[in-house]
């Protein structure tokens, strides 16, 4: 890449869900398996619920709690509790059990995109590598802890992207200047606008080939991490 603007970077942070693996697929399959467990414990409740309804209730709870940064695991638990109440089968103990089943599959079923492990392995030889996420996928929980030097999670910091402060926390963890940190993510607001507001460089990863009007598109775009390797390791 000519006139490479990324030559000055010393560390790279990655969003996780949607950037390094297919979160939507993992989440939906895990909810479906949690519903199978529910059918064993309360067939009536299970017959009144499906994956889309569970997701809708969870999103409603998240929207109600959007003014406060709390654990997304707690949001999911509250979603299961409310879903059972919505179908006239309230049972907080059962909701807790179903939530635990969901979380078990949620982490166990994560499979990184094919380009992820090779890219992080190569990049880590030259840069500090960090996770910067609003989600609850700790790298260690998904068997990827060895690929990261640090992690800044919104649930631990009490600040979520696109707030510039969480990017500044990542800068401190990386022990570099804001302009020396590169953030890679799939969300144009949380990842790209948030990084820009913090003075951090960013690359938008558009794995799904989404069409963005030219005037609204980030300067640096990739469809997979192999391109990032080409840019950074010449």
- What pTM, to 2 d.p., does this model score? 0.89
Q: Do 223 and 118 fall within a single domain?
A: yes
pLDDT digits (tens, 9 = 90+) for 73-90: 888 999 999 999 999 999
Residue 2 in any domain: the answer is no
Handedness of CA 60, 132, 17, 188 (dihedral sign): positive
Range with lowest mean pLDDT among 41-45, 74-78, 112-116, 184-188:
74-78
Q: Is 93 exposed, middle or buried (0-12, 13-18, 19+ CB in 10 A)?
A: exposed
Q: Do 16 and 129 fall within a single domain?
A: yes
- Average pLDDT rounded to a whole number, residues 134-147: 89
pLDDT at 2: 46
pLDDT digits (tens, 9 = 90+) for 60-70: 998 887 655 55
Q: Do 201 and 88 fall within a single domain?
A: no
Last residue of a domain, one of 108, 128, 161: 108
Residue 94 in any domain: the answer is yes
Q: Which domain holds residue 57?
A: 24-108
Question: CA separation (Å) from 97 to 35, 37, 41, 71, 76?
Answer: 11, 9, 10, 17, 12
In the chain, the number of structural domains is: 2
The CATH code of the domain that includes 16 is: 3.40.50.1000
Q: ω before 31 within 30° of 0 (cis)? A: no
Q: Which two tokens stand for residue 134?
A: 């609003």
Q: Do 34 and 140 fall within a single domain?
A: no
Helix (H) or strand (E) holding 182: strand 181-185
Residue 44 in any domain: the answer is yes
Confidence grade of residue 1 (pLDDT, cut at 50, 70, 90): very low
pLDDT digits (tens, 9 = 90+) for 153-172: 988 888 889 999 999 999 99
pLDDT at 234: 63
């Amino acid at each position: 890449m000519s006139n490479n603007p990324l030559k000055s970077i010393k560390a790279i942070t990655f969003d996780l869900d949607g950037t390094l693996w297919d979160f939507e697929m993992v989440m939906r399959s895990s909810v479906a398996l949690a519903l199978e467990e529910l059918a064993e414990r309360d067939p009536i409740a299970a017959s009144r619920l499906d994956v889309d309804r569970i997701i809708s209730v969870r999103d409603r709870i998240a929207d109600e709690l959007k003014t406060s940064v709390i654990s997304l695991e707690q949001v999911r638990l509250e979603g299961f509790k409310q879903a059972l109440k919505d179908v006239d089968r309230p049972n907080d103990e059962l909701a807790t059990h179903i939530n635990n089943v969901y979380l078990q599959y949620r982490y166990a079923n994560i499979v990184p995109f094919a380009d992820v492990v090779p890219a992080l392995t190569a990049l880590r030889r030259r840069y500090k590598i960090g996770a910067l996420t609003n989600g609850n996928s700790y790298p260690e929980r998904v068997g990827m802890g060895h690929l990261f030097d640090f992690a800044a999670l919104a649930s631990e910091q009490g600040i979520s992207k696109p707030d510039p402060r969480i990017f500044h926390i990542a800068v401190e963890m990386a022990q570099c200047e804001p302009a020396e940190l590169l953030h890679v993510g799939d969300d144009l607001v949380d990842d790209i606008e948030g990084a820009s507001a913090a003075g951090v460089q960013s690359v938008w990863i558009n794995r799904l080939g989404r069409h963005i009007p030219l005037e609204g598109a980030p300067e640096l775009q990739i469809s997979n991490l192999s391109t990032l390797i080409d840019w950074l390791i010449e």
